[in-house]
Amino acid sequence: MEMTEMTGVSLKRGSLAVEDNDSVAPAEEAKRQKVSECCLTTGRAGLENASPPSGENVLGPPGAVSAGEGTENSDARLEEEEEEEEDGLSEEGDEEEEAESFADMMKHGLTELDVGITKFVSSHQGFSGILKERYSDFVVHEIGKDGRVSHLDDLSVPVDEEAPSEDMLTVLTAEEKQRLEELQLFKNKETSVAIEVIEDTKEKRTIIHQAIKSLFPGLETKTEDREGKKYIVAYHAAGRKALANPRKHSWPKSRGSYCHFVLYKENKDTMDAINVLSKYLRVKPNIFSYMGTKDKRAITVQEIAVLKITAQRLAHLNKCLMNFKLGNFSYQKNPLKLGELQGNQFTVVLRNITGTDAQVQQAMNSLKEIGFINYYGMQRFGTTAVPTYQVGRAILQNSWAEVMDLILKPRSGAEKGYLVKCREEWARTRDPAAALRKLPVRRCVEGQLLRGLSKYGMKNMVSAFGIIPRNNRLMYIHSYQSYVWNNMVSKRIEEYGLKPVPGDLVLKGATATYIEEEDVDNYSIHDVVMPLPGFDVIYPKHKISEAYREMLTADNLDIDNMRHKIRDYSLSGAYRKVVIRPQNVSWEVVAYDDPKIPLFNTDVDNLEGKPPPVFASEGKYRALKMDFALPPSTYATMAIREVLKMDTSIKNQTQLNTAWLR
């Protein structure tokens, strides 16, 4: 097994986005794909990560604040504005896209070298290829804890004895259903809908009552006499918050409380998708659960669970939404839990490859037999001129003024105009309320922090920072841990190569133990783990232990005291394998002429009966189609990096792509 160091690598073309296994990709496209507006408009929301530490650039709950910090009136106005945005009624900023230069922004971004990614495990010659020229070239299927790969292959709705009867489905006319749906979704100013009971009988009225409550959860009904005629009047029992808590609505006791379904999505990250679903269903996002987050620029298939929403209502969304499909419905007793998955199965197409068949064979055999260094990928560290690990380091140093400055100060590179103005206002006045007024969208971290500073004042920066959702705050310190880990692993491989040595760490169960001299031959590099710094880990018993200490000391941190006076920011640490060997690795090289054609079928293609693509023996271009499975919290881009021997940073790929386009 041979180890090589990263030097200048030729890459003729590169894409602008990278992908992570159950993590958050920060890259934003120049244009967001729109969903159909047959129901409600949507916006971004907070994002939780599948397995900490994880991703960055995460947006949290909306908020706004007026001038006059700490006053009762300003707090009241703040709560009103927060409530309005949470209801999805103030989404104006989400669809705004300015014509900024992504390439200019990335001139100030990070490279792999900046975050300690420097080594390769194999000696094969690299070659160029286009990573994610189309988001459909990157498909992720979740692997559940039982080893089953999630596929969308059934759109039917399960029928149980508690499902609405045929009478309940037909008793209302199409016009009545439309009026009730508009009432349910607050799409007009009506406060109630009255339905005349034709052929009045008690049985008929009962069926209408049941139909409205079953088909339009959140609506209550009553019977009224009007001028000698019977009417069933539907209304919102709890006003605008009627659907906030589905536990309030009737649900058959014999049916599991959670509807599990497979979500197929294109070009949306998981929490974006859940945000869309929750707005269309008029419920809070926190009634959804999932095992792992999937990134945006891909087609992903994963299992989702939702509390007390029927499969019928979910299936109806297939008529409303573009780039989403829901299916494989079932009712279960329990929700899903983060991390309860074996991993993800990837299908990746690298287009316009330059490698010979022999080079491809050597590279893929190496990936299959040896694997790749389990670096944290570039999306862990942010895309802007201020890396997330720098913010994390300042938090751990208890340097709160620096934390505020790093997040809010003007920065190099292109940004949305309103963010530039906000930063300039902050630098000029140090007035959080004034800077906040420059933001039309306050869901971003900058808006949340300014709102906190307006509320708590500059002398209570810890509380101000605390207004940012917890997962988003922890993302910064997890980014710093990842930065240290990457650098230390590169040093470990440089010092000792790709073989276990005495003093290395391996896991026995969940406990880390040292490799002793006499046991070295019992282990391989695939067994070796390295610690993320924290108060509950041990460090290797060789030179790398001192390297950890030196790195943290240089950052004014005490490796022997990783407890923070604020409990949330105390790092317990963790262990991570140094080298990962993907499972179920297969590949083929295909020839094609049209760069826009898909090179394999998706689940939706198969549902629609589309025949698989047929490839010619020769073509204008060649593509490498790869399939492999990875455990949670590993980065597919690091596997692809090992194959191509290229820098996967957005900065590098953007510059190369820009040069190629000229």
- Kindly list the catalytic residues: 295
Query: What does each C-alpha distance from 526 to 492, 514, 644 come to in angstroms?
Result: 14, 15, 21
CB 381 within 8 A of CB 656: no
| Separation in Å, CA 255 to CA 204, 207, 309, 332, 418 | 26, 21, 11, 8, 49
SS3 per-residue string spanning 113-182: HHHCCCEECCCCCCCCCEECCCHHHEEEEEEECCCCECCCCCCCCCCCCCCCCHHHHHCCCHHHHHHHHH
Tokens of 288: 């959804």
Distance (Å, whole) CA 255 – CA 222 = 26
**Structure-token pair, residue 401:** 């003024």
Angle at 423 between CA 421 and CA 429, to 5 degrees: 95
511, burial (CB in 10 Å: exposed 0-12, middle 13-18, buried 19+): exposed
Other Cβ atoms less than 10 A from the Cβ of 569: the count is 18
Backbone angles phi, psi at 47, to 5 degrees: -125, 125
Give the C-alpha distances (Å, rounded to integers) separating 222 from 176, 192, 380, 443. 16, 11, 54, 40
Q: CB within 8 A of 511, min separation 6: which ones? A: none
- Cα–Cα distance between 279 and 261 in angstroms, integer? 18
Rg (CA), the chain: 27
Peptide bond into 53 cis (omega under 30): yes
